[in-house]
Amino acid sequence: MRLAFPYRSACALAATGALVVSGLAGATPAGAAPSRHTPRVLGQTLRAPGPTAASPASLRVAARPADTGSPTSTWTVNYDAGFQARPQARASFQAAVDIWSRLIASRVPISVDAVSTGLDPGVLGQAGPTDFVPLSRDGLGGTARTDYPLALANALVGRDLSAESDITAEFDTTATDVYYGTDGQSQGKYDFETVVLHELGHGLGFLGSMDVDANGFGFYGSGPRQPEPTIYDRFTVRSGGAVQGKRLLSYVSATTALGAALTSGDVYWDGPRGKAAYNGRPVRLYAPKPWEPASSYSHLSTADFPPSDVNSLMTAFVGTNQVKRDPGAVVLGMFADMGWGVPAQPGVRYTAVDPVRILDTRDGTGGFVGRLGAGRTIDVSVVGGSSGVPTTATAVVLNVTGIGPASPTDLRVYPTPRSGTAQPLVSNLNLAAGAVRANLVTVPVGEGGRVRVLNSGGAPQVIADIEGWYGASGASGYEPTSPTRLLDTRDGTGVSRAAPVEAGGAIDLVVTGGARDVPDTATAVILTVTATDATTATDVRVYPTPLDPSSPAPQVSNLNLSPRQTVPNLVIAKVGAGGAVRLMNSAGSVDLVADLAGWYDDNANGRLLHVLAPQRVLDTRMQTPTRVAAGETRDLTVAGVAGVPATGADAVVVNVTGVDASLTTDVAVYPTPNDNAVPLASNLNLLPRETAADLAVVATGLGGQIRLRNGNGDLALVVDIVGWFGP
């Protein structure tokens, strides 16, 4: 059974003079297209599949969604005489309404016209918003020049903007191949409640305005002169081959370029909440070639979301015996990106492990040998085997090291996608020619329990070491703190005397108890570890202090540095014997500094990680002034942006990149204070002309902000959010 769904709006197109947005499969319903402000919205049609469509014979899912809490929206359904005469169909329709009422929040009642009517052969139902409202043009807020489905517009402004119903839904309630019960036992038929649940999703706004005509021209919005897209359109991108992350709205409407993009098979949802619900991956949309009216673009990809997937309700096909009672976290995340209030996705707890090397291209660990060429990728398994990470893990913490590229490059680490070639537009590690540098990465686990490493240029060797994992069965929650210096061998902080650490020497740094803020129950600590003034090339290893002091160090490293270089890196270290972590230097002598950024323990009230797909929230190169001067600070609002909630986020995980420093400098990242206090800690150290990145876990400060301060010279700063901690 095919699910299709678009709305009609007045927009010049060829013979009819009206644009069929996403079109209608089969014959067009009777009646001329009305004006833009009073569209007859019958789009989203549901059809039986053709002979090549999948129609699973025995697929079942839970008869009710897991969340059976109180409604968060009130729905009023105006059942016509046809529905009134068929109480079983009406009960099934109402059951679908009740599911959405628990998942979608609105202070304004949502009204639906439920119409029983004869439809085209093979069409079981069609639905869509009764109207679209350009909130910003009408002075009600919202995104500029963007149409919102009426129910969402009402929810956003807190009042009913129209006397019309919000959603119009038509169904053939006399069809004999449809099961109208609500017990999920569809008995070889198409499940009516599933059909209604899907179509109401389109009525709430799960649809875009884009269309491709018979000549391959792509269109969007209400007219070719001043097209106004829907809020759904705002989050769609093309990411495939040489095109990565190009917004579909950057193409000119009424062009073959847009038409080609819409039929490329590589159209994705780029909203942060939708991607976060898909474990950090872009959400692939249904974009086949040729264009399929009423199906293309406004459904999830059937390849990425097969019928067995819990998120497959809003795909383009449904089969007999296929029962869905939950739209899935991905769809709800997409609705959240559009502006709907939806239930918060659960966070995950952390389990630290003894560091384990899972990738080393120098010796073939991880299944790849040799330098990683420009544009090449490695998919490395991060669960099972010797990693110590269970298959239930949703994200892992990796220390990733790049070694000796022939030219400047960056490495990007992201969850292995299910299909397609979408790549993130942000990087995790920046390397100068010949450099050796490491950075900590928190990355969601992708398809097959793997993560992908992409090299942009040059040809570095690549190493990855696992330090821990996040998941529903994780052991510990996070406790944030303002940056606190625990160790500085230059002045004797944290050690018995001020002296560099010699080759093979180690410091057992007690991080819990006593005068420390860290409780004895802590399982791991987050430290920014900085090595400086090395006398020769060396590496520094940070790991739990072993019970046997003579135990050998693990064959992993956290920092790599050249003589006289200063290099920091974030470390999440498991707490070892005596409440201590060990810092060991491999060669020459070096001074070490460690700043506490928080800890993990088994406190039931500890903060949980909410993983996001990386999203850029600051790039001073795009601002005025483009450079941050010596002693200058920039306060960056992180609450309410990039998928971080406006309230409840106690800390954020950010990747901070300093670009083209004019002088040797350091960058401190800390909670925005209510004064001008500067902590005695830094997160990033740079040499002249250097570009480098480091991960930071930062508690949120005044106004939901974090502060970035440059110590010397001037540089550009880039910040990417990769997650947040909260309830």
| pLDDT reported for residue 61 | 33
Segment among 35-44, 281-290, 716-725 with least mean pLDDT: 35-44
Last residue of a domain, one of 310, 338, 366: 338
Of 245 and 716, which is predicted with more confidence?
Answer: 716
Pairing state of beta strands 409-415 and 450-455?
antiparallel
Q: Is the pLDDT assigned to residue 602 strictly greater than 80?
A: yes
CATH number of the domain at 585, please.
2.60.120
| pLDDT reported for residue 613 | 86
Query: Which long-range contacts link 686-689 to residues 24+ away (Cβ below 8 Å)?
Result: 686/658, 686/661, 686/715, 687/565, 687/566, 687/661, 688/661, 688/662, 688/663, 688/664, 688/713, 689/660, 689/661, 689/662
Using N-to-C axis directions, what is the helix angle for 87-103 and 192-203, rounded to 10°? 50
How far apart, in whole angstroms, are the C-alpha atoms of residue 402 and residue 411?
Answer: 8
* Whether the Cβ atoms of residue 293 and residue 25 lie closer than 8 Å to each other: yes
Q: Is the pLDDT assigned to residue 30 strictly greater than 60?
A: no
* Whether the Cβ atoms of residue 717 and residue 620 lie closer than 8 Å to each other: yes
| Token pair 């193409």: residue | 251
* Whether the Cβ atoms of residue 139 and residue 45 lie closer than 8 Å to each other: no
CA angle 679, 681, 683 (to 5 degrees): 125
Q: 46-57, pLDDT tens digit by residue?
A: 444 543 333 222
| pLDDT reported for residue 145 | 83
**612 and 597, same domain (yes or no):** no
Q: Is the pLDDT assigned to residue 63 strictly greater than 90?
A: no
Read out DSSP for 566-623? -EEEEEEEE--GGGEEEEEE-SSEEEEEEEEEEEEE--TT-BEEEEEEEEEEEEGGGS
**374 and 405, same domain (yes or no):** yes
| pLDDT reported for residue 119 | 82
Average pLDDT value for residue range 633-640:
96
* Whether the Cβ atoms of residue 393 and residue 381 lie closer than 8 Å to each other: no
| pLDDT reported for residue 176 | 87
Closest CA to 112 of 71, 76, 85: 76
Residue 203 falls inside a structural domain: yes
**143 and 257, same domain (yes or no):** yes
Q: Is the pLDDT assigned to residue 67 strictly greater than 80?
A: no
| pLDDT reported for residue 138 | 64
Average pLDDT value for residue range 592-605:
92
Q: Is the dihedral of CA 643, 647, 653, 655 positive or negative?
A: positive
Of 68 and 209, which is predicted with more confidence?
Answer: 209
**Whole-prediction pTM:** 0.84
Model confidence band, residue 44 (pLDDT cutoffs 50, 70, 90): very low
What percent of the chain is predicted at pLDDT more than 90? Answer: 73
**523 and 554, same domain (yes or no):** yes
**113 and 93, same domain (yes or no):** yes
**Highest mean pLDDT: which of 14-23, 29-38, 140-149, 247-256?**
247-256
How far apart, in whole angstroms, are the C-alpha atoms of residue 644 and residue 636?
Answer: 13
Residue 350 falls inside a structural domain: no
Of 517 and 409, which is predicted with more confidence?
Answer: 409
| pLDDT reported for residue 344 | 87
Average pLDDT value for residue range 588-596:
96
| pLDDT reported for residue 123 | 76
Of 424 and 637, which is predicted with more confidence?
Answer: 637
| pLDDT reported for residue 57 | 28
Q: Is the pLDDT assigned to residue 36 strictly greater than 60?
A: no
Residue 343 falls inside a structural domain: no
| pLDDT reported for residue 225 | 52
**92 and 171, same domain (yes or no):** yes
Residue 424 falls inside a structural domain: yes
Average pLDDT value for residue range 537-553:
92
Residue 206 falls inside a structural domain: yes
| pLDDT reported for residue 11 | 22
**180 and 203, same domain (yes or no):** yes
Q: Is the pLDDT assigned to residue 34 strictly greater than 90?
A: no
CA angle 29, 31, 37 (to 5 degrees): 105
**627 and 709, same domain (yes or no):** yes
Residue 513 falls inside a structural domain: yes
Q: 238-261, pLDDT tens digit by residue?
A: 998 778 889 999 999 999 999 999
Question: Could you tell me the CA-to-CA distances from 421 to 128, 232, 400, 417, 455 in Å, in that order?
Answer: 31, 22, 22, 8, 14
Q: 130-184, pLDDT tens digit by residue?
A: 999 888 766 677 777 889 999 999 999 999 999 999 999 999 888 889 999 999 9
DSSP helix/strand/coil, 88: helix
Mean pLDDT across the chain: 87
Last residue of a domain, one of 419, 453, 470: 470
Closest CA to 570 of 400, 319, 388: 400
Q: 684-694, pLDDT tens digit by residue?
A: 999 999 999 99
Q: What is residue 82's DSSP assignment? A: H
Closest CA to 656 of 688, 624, 686: 686
**464 and 488, same domain (yes or no):** no
Read out DSSP for 381-438? E-SSGGG---TT-SEEEEEEEEE--SS-EEEEEEEPPSSS----SS-SEEE-TT-EEE
Backbone angles phi, psi at 218, to 5 degrees: -100, 140
Q: 104-122, pLDDT tens digit by residue?
A: 999 999 999 999 998 887 7
Average pLDDT value for residue range 650-668:
96
| pLDDT reported for residue 676 | 86
Residue 349 falls inside a structural domain: no
**568 and 638, same domain (yes or no):** no
| pLDDT reported for residue 257 | 96
Closest CA to 447 of 467, 420, 482: 420
Model confidence band, residue 338 (pLDDT cutoffs 50, 70, 90): very high
Please count the structural domains in the chain: 4
Owning domain of residue 440? 355-470
Model confidence band, residue 385 (pLDDT cutoffs 50, 70, 90): confident
**213 and 302, same domain (yes or no):** yes
How far apart, in whole angstroms, are the C-alpha atoms of residue 299 and residue 379?
Answer: 28
**50 and 95, same domain (yes or no):** yes
| pLDDT reported for residue 137 | 63
| pLDDT reported for residue 143 | 77
Last residue of a domain, one of 601, 636, 669: 601
Residue 271 falls inside a structural domain: yes
* Whether the Cβ atoms of residue 605 and residue 685 lie closer than 8 Å to each other: no
